[in-house]
Chains A and B, each alone.
Chain A
Amino acid sequence: MATLSSNLLFIAFILYLVATLFYGGSIKTKNEQNGTNRWGKIAVFLTIVGFVSQLGYFITRWIAAGHAPVSNMFEFTTFFGMALVGAFIVIYFIYRTTLLGLFTMPVAILVIAYASMFPKEITPLIPALQSYWLHIHVTTAAMGEAILAISFAAGLIYLVKAIDQTKSTKQTFWLEMVMFSLVTVLGFVVVSSVFSGMGYHEKFNWIDKHDATAVMEYTMPAITGPNEGELLTKGGYSPLVEMPAFINAKKLNTVIWSLMGGLVLYGLIRTILRKRIAAALKPLVKNIKLDFVDEISYRSVLIGFPVFTLGALIFAMIWAQMAWSRFWGWDPKEVWALITWLFYAAFLHLRLSKGWHGEKSAWLAVIGFVIIMFNLVAVNLVIAGLHSYAG
Chain B
Amino acid sequence: MKKRRLVMRTIILLVLGAAVAYSLYSNLTKDNKQKVAIGDKAPDFVLVDMQGNKHRLSDYRGQGVFLNFWGTWCPPCKKEMPYINNQYLQYKDKGVQVLSIDIQEPKLAVNQFAERYKLDFPIMIDTDKEVMNVYGIDPLPATFLIDKNGDVVKYHTGEMTENMIKDFMEKIKP
Whether A and B touch (Cβ < 8 Å) is answered with no
Binding site for B on A (CB under 8 A): none
Binding site for A on B (CB under 8 A): none
